[in-house]
């Protein structure tokens, strides 16, 4: 056994591979992958902007969820859910927030609508495929893809880290992990956002986190019994209606 370990170590030195103690595929230390913000808001507007963005993404999630039955119908071709259809429903859903938005917030909202619509347009071929039931499209996928497109245009980061995430894109960072822990231990009544100021690289940011709670239609995949495969083959989370599944996390760059 000892001989074998020595032989492996020798081989690693020869091939230039990292020694066993150095974990391969681990998260890099320090730095921030996203720290250049094309859109920033004054400190005084940060809270309201983050709240509006979180509300808008949750509204979009509900619009998409309402189409879930149509999306999985193998008999249907065109689902009638183009980017344009989606965007107009989304704009009406967030109209109150839009009306009283500042010019800076309106500009950010336009980029959000653009990003959300892009993702629905990008997924048309997938959504309109006939003869296939599950096409791997649901609100969380839209959010994940929309977040990437939106960040690319604004710098603002919107993500939904999960307590037992499926896509590695939804891995929580340290602040998000502690928010998840807080909401899990505080129970169903705690819905106040957790907010903080931080520095990402040289950029001052405002962070907003609020719980995403399960409702009965989510339980087929995120409910009980824990560990049993859901219809997609993921292990169910074992959660109940009202439990948190993840947090809506918004990070905005500050201009002052
Ligand atoms: C058909 C099964 C299914 C149903 C029903 C479902 N989800 Fe999910 N959920 C998934 C899958 C699959 C992912 C990973 C999606 C991705 O990132 O592509 C996911 C991801 C998520 C995430 C991101 C964190 C994570 O765990 O990866 C949240 C938050 C979430 N779902 C919330 C909900 C809520 C709230 C509902 C009900 C309104 C719901 N889900 C209903 C399958 C489901």
On average, the pLDDT of the chain sits at 92
Please work out whether the CB of residue 165 comes within 6 Å of at least one atom of ligand 1: yes
What pLDDT shows up at residue 35? 81
In the structure encoding, which two tokens stand for residue 12, read together? 């690693």
Residue 227 lies in a domain: yes
The rounded Å distance from CA 18 to ligand 1 centre is 37
The rounded Å distance from CA 162 to ligand 1 centre is 9
> What pTM did the predictor assign?
0.91
Residue 86 lies in a domain: yes
Residue 67 lies in a domain: yes
Nearest-CA residue for ligand 1 atom 43 is 221
Residue 157: Cβ-neighbour burial (10 angstroms; 0-12, 13-18, 19+)? buried
Residue 191 lies in a domain: yes
Please work out whether the CB of residue 218 comes within 6 Å of at least one atom of ligand 1: yes
Q: How confident is the model at residue 4 (pLDDT cuts 50, 70, 90)?
A: low
Please work out whether the CB of residue 246 comes within 6 Å of at least one atom of ligand 1: yes
**Per-residue burial over 222-235, b = 16 or more CB atoms within 10 Å of its CB, e = otherwise:** bbeeeeeeeeeeee
Residue 50 lies in a domain: yes
Give 117-171 pLDDT, tens digit per residue.
999 999 999 999 999 999 999 999 999 999 999 999 999 999 999 999 999 999 9
Give 36-51 pLDDT, tens digit per residue.
999 999 999 999 999 9
- The fraction of the chain above a pLDDT of 90, given in percent, is 85
Q: How confident is the model at residue 21 (pLDDT cuts 50, 70, 90)?
A: confident
Residue 11 lies in a domain: no
Q: How confident is the model at residue 27 (pLDDT cuts 50, 70, 90)?
A: confident
Selected residue with higher pLDDT from 245 and 20: 245
Residues 6+ apart with CB under 8 A from 82: 120, 121, 124
Please work out whether the CB of residue 120 comes within 6 Å of at least one atom of ligand 1: no
Cis, bond preceding 38 (omega within 30 deg of 0): no
Region of residue 194 (phi > 0: left; psi between -120 and 50: alpha; otherwise: beta): beta
* Start-to-end Cα distance in the chain: 61
| Dihedral pair phi/psi, residue 252, rounded to 5° | -115, 140
- Return the residue matching tokens 């020798």: 10
Max alpha carbon distance in the chain (Å)?
Answer: 73
Nearest-CA residue for ligand 1 atom 40 is 218
Give 72-94 pLDDT, tens digit per residue.
999 999 999 999 999 999 999 99
Residue 247 lies in a domain: yes
Residues 6+ apart with CB under 8 A from 110: none
| Dihedral pair phi/psi, residue 180, rounded to 5° | -60, -45
Question: Quick one: DSSP state of residue 226?
Answer: T
The rounded Å distance from CA 233 to ligand 1 centre is 13
In angstroms, the CA 81 to CA 90 distance is 12
Residue 160 lies in a domain: yes
Is residue 250 a contact partner of residue 256, using CB atoms and an 8 Å limit? Answer: no
**Number of domains within the chain:** 1
Please work out whether the CB of residue 221 comes within 6 Å of at least one atom of ligand 1: yes
Helix (H) or strand (E) segment spanning residue 34: none
**Beta carbons within 10 angstroms of residue 121's beta carbon:** 14
Domain interval for residue 157: 33-254
Atom index in ligand 1 nearest the CA of residue 214 equals 35
């Amino acid at each position: 056994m000892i001989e074998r370990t020595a032989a492996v170590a020798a081989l690693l030195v020869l091939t230039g591979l990292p020694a066993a103690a150095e974990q391969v595929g681990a998260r890099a230390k320090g730095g921030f992958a996203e720290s250049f913000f094309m859109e920033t808001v004054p400190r005084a507007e940060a809270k309201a902007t983050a709240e509006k963005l979180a509300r808008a993404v949750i509204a979009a999630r509900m619009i998409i969820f309402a189409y879930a039955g149509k999306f999985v119908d193998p008999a249907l071709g065109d689902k009638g859910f183009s980017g344009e259809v989606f965007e107009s429903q989304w704009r009406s859903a967030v109209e109150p927030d839009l009306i009283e938005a500042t010019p800076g917030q309106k500009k950010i909202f336009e980029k959000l609508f653009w990003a959300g619509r892009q993702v629905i347009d990008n997924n048309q071929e997938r959504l309109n495929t006939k003869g296939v039931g599950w096409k791997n499209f649901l609100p969380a996928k839209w959010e994940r893809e929309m977040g990437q497109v939106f960040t690319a245009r604004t710098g603002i980061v919107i993500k939904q880290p999960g307590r037992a995430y499926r896509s590695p894109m939804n891995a929580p960072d340290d602040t998000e992990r502690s928010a998840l822990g807080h909401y899990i231990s505080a129970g169903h009544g705690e819905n106040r956002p957790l907010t903080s100021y931080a520095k990402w690289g040289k950029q001052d940011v405002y962070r907003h986190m609020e719980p995403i709670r399960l409702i009965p239609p989510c339980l087929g995949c995120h409910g009980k019994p824990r560990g049993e495969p859901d219809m997609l083959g993921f292990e169910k989370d074992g959660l109940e209606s009202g439990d948190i599944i993840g947090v809506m996390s918004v990070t905005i760059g500050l201009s002052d």
